[in-house]
Structure 1
Amino acid sequence: MRPLIETKAFPQSLNGEVARVVSRLVHEEDHQGSGNFCVQVQGELLEIPNRLHYRSTLLDHAIEGSELSHQISACLGTRHHDGFVRQRCLERLLPVRQPWVVPYVVALLGEYVLPIIMLIEAHSRSDELGLYGEFLARNTQYLKKTERRVMSYWDAYHRHPYPQYAQYPGFLAMSALKNAANSAAATIDTDLSNRGVNA
């Protein structure tokens, strides 16, 4: 059995549930993904895999429902090597209001699959971006990295349908998330000042 890297991708309080979810998804012949990215979520460092290799049939079954195990499965599914699987998992996650879900959604914005980017752009038009703003305000380097990736993938793959970068759904979503991050940063700075703490 391969090392259980997925537990590092969620808050420690979810370790038991993550282990149970992964035990139902992983087979001995499956190989784990390579590389990860690190972000802070509510003071915890999460190490989220860049890509994971599960059998899509098992994953499709695992994301059916709205319980915690289904949400964890959908998060892991956003790192799947198949873009169609990532899209199905994203559709399950967008209504979920949990801080640990946010980095999985944001990561997809920095990829190249246009239907996924369009889903995130539509979601970014909502008034419920508070968790996204707080996450990005506390992960400014990750925000900058994602923004660079959005522009790079537009330049490489999506210039033809969107000649102007300002019309590209990835840019529109990124702009909305940056605005949310700026609002959250102002709130964080005000809170720290009120408590007499240097930001």
Structure 2
Amino acid sequence: MGGETLAVPCRICHGEPGAEAARSLTGVRRSILHCLCSRHGDGRIRQRHLEQITGLHHAWVAPYVVQPAGEDRVPPPQPGISG
């Protein structure tokens, strides 16, 4: 991003901050929190935070939105190949 490398974690395992703690953060800090929690090991937590960052206009948010698009998908069967 802007000539710098952004490392997006695969999965993180930590307690989810409470809603009150998240609300106490400034806009950018809250966006960072949602980005990090969108990589959480629990899919429900991931989804909840991904919904919060979709549509944000910070350049560094895009990898957190695009990367999950290719995850948790089962590839379609290929013709002639049995599973």
TM-score category by the smaller chain?
Answer: 0.7 to 0.9
Gaps of 5+ in 2: 78-83
**CA 1:79/1:60 → structure 2, altered by over 3 Å: closer, same or farther?**
farther
Deviating 4+ runs (over 6 angstroms): none
Residue in 2 that maps onto 1:9:
none
5 Å-filtered alignment, 1:40-189, equals 41-56=1-16, 58=17, 60-64=19-23, 67-112=27-72, 153-155=73-75
Change over 3 Å in CA distance of 1:60–1:107 after alignment to 2: farther
2:81 corresponds in structure 1 to none
Q: Which has the higher strand share?
A: 1
In terms of Rg, which structure is larger?
A: 1
Q: 1:72 to 1:46 in 2, by over 3 A?
A: same
Q: Which protein has the bigger helix share?
A: 1
Task: Report the residue type matching 1:154 in the other structure.
Answer: V
Number of residue-to-residue matches in the alignment: 76
How far apart, in 2, do the equivalents of 1:63 and 1:110 lie? 27
- Does the 8 A contact of 1:52 with 1:80 survive in 2? yes
Opposite residue 69 of structure 1, the aligned amino acid is: R
Amino acid in structure 1 at the alignment position of 2:52: R
Percent identity of paired positions between Structure 1 and Structure 2: 36
**What RMSD, in angstroms, separates the aligned Cα atoms of the two structures?**
2.3
TM value normalised by structure 2: 0.76
TM-score (norm 1): 0.34
Query: Which structure 1 segments of 5+ residues have no match?
Result: 1-40, 113-152, 164-199
